[in-house]
A = this chain, B = another copy of it.
């Protein structure tokens, strides 16, 4: 089964909104072995939507379309689909009841546009939306399927998980494509490529390798294609084991795991608590750590010491060290890490102090200069980095580097 995705929305074409739906849908389809051949974004215009539908419905078995189903007048997907499938609009009773019940339960006043969201073209099978008022729609035409879903991410995800993916799963034979992604931190893409060059050239022809870098992290995706897929799992295992002999210390996990989850597993297993003392990362490490459900089992809290006064008054950093060495120095970042362990009473800590830019750099300490310290009781490790890029990118790199350093300290692989 081959598929394509259509995203509808002027807000995306004029650059106001990033489309995160398409990437999520692709990931889910891919897990079922359904290949996404193409993604297209078109504007909120009937002519554009119809033209993309014509082209893709003739080439693909499945087309999933998101957006344009909102309660406001600028949303034109539904009337366009009604015209495309020569079908009149009818109210969907179940959706109507759901909308009425929703407003009753929350004690809110229902307005006319809310009820209109229950209307669907007669030609479709309506898919009940558990997280919102606009139903999804499932159409079939000339052997191809068209699914139309709301653009609001959590509504789209609910409909996909509850209804669309289970229906697709019933229709597909799982084919022989297996992906495995190796998550690495600490080595830039081109260096990693040089380190594993021989390993890469020894890979069997049916394994495809892709490098997927993002700030501070490089993912290596191995794909086993049809031909030798019968022993795909074994083939991957053998080749990943060889890879681990070369870059093992930089690998923090596989597939969808994040570094914050991987670090969380290590802390949880050892019954250790964690605090962060953040200057240049400004709370970003705390935010990442606490984004993991259940992180309260090991994450105690943080002190974001943005101002130097907070570094000394709250974390107990020597004022003399701040003056003589500057805030971005080994001494200060070590005292921040120890200080936050003491102040919040935790077993482990990470501390960051750097120049995220765009201003504040000097000849001696240019923008990107960052000191990171990690500690576990008396064991402590501090290192200076020169990160590169925008403010956001420097903060991201510092955050991931700190988490990987603590993980490696705890695993004795530093």
Contact = CB atoms under 8 A, between A and B. Distances in A.
Contacts of A358: 293
A309 interface: yes
Given A72-B189, A296-B306, 10 more contacts: A16-B27, A17-B212, A18-B20, A19-B23, A39-B39, A72-B209, A74-B211, A282-B290, A303-B304, A314-B343
Contact of A154 (B13, B26, B310, B390): B390
A331 interface: no
Given A40-B38, A43-B37, A290-B304, A179 B309 contact: no
A111 B211 CA distance: 17
B73 A221 contact: no
Interface in A196-233: 200, 208-214, 219, 221
Contacts of A26: 12-15
A16 B314 contact: no
A41 interface: yes
A389 interface: yes
A393 interface: yes
A286 interface: yes
B391 A189 contact: no
A307 B300 contact: yes
Contact of A14 (B74, B179, B276): B179
Interface in A124-144: 131
Contact of A302 (B213, B304, B357): B304
Interface string A304-341: 11110110011000000000000000000000000000
A309 B302 contact: no
Number of copies: 2
Nearest to A108: B191
Contacts of A23: 12, 15-19
B282 A291 contact: yes
Interface residues of A, number: 100
Contacts of A286: 278, 282-283, 286-287, 304, 306
* Prevailing SS type, chain A contact patch: mixed
A37 B11 contact: no
A248 interface: no
A114 interface: yes
A247 B307 CA distance: 36
Interface of A: 10-20, 22-30, 35-44, 48, 70-74, 111, 113-114, 131, 152, 154, 179, 181, 189-190, 193-194, 200, 208-214, 219, 221, 273, 276, 278, 281-287, 289-291, 293-296, 299-307, 309-310, 313-314, 343-345, 357-359, 389-393, 395
Contacts of A359: 293-294
Nearest to A188: B108
Contacts of A393: 154
Contact of A190 (B114, B214, B281, B307): B114
Contacts of A44: 210
Contact of A113 (B14, B20, B190, B295): B190
Contact of A287 (B12, B283, B307): B283
Top-3 shortest CB links A-B: A15-B27, A282-B290, A283-B286
A22 B41 contact: yes
A307 B347 CA distance: 14
A191 to B, nearest CB: 8
17 contacts: A13-B35, A13-B37, A16-B27, A39-B41, A73-B200, A74-B211, A114-B190, A283-B284, A286-B304, A291-B395, A299-B306, A300-B307, A300-B309, A301-B303, A301-B304, A309-B345, A313-B345
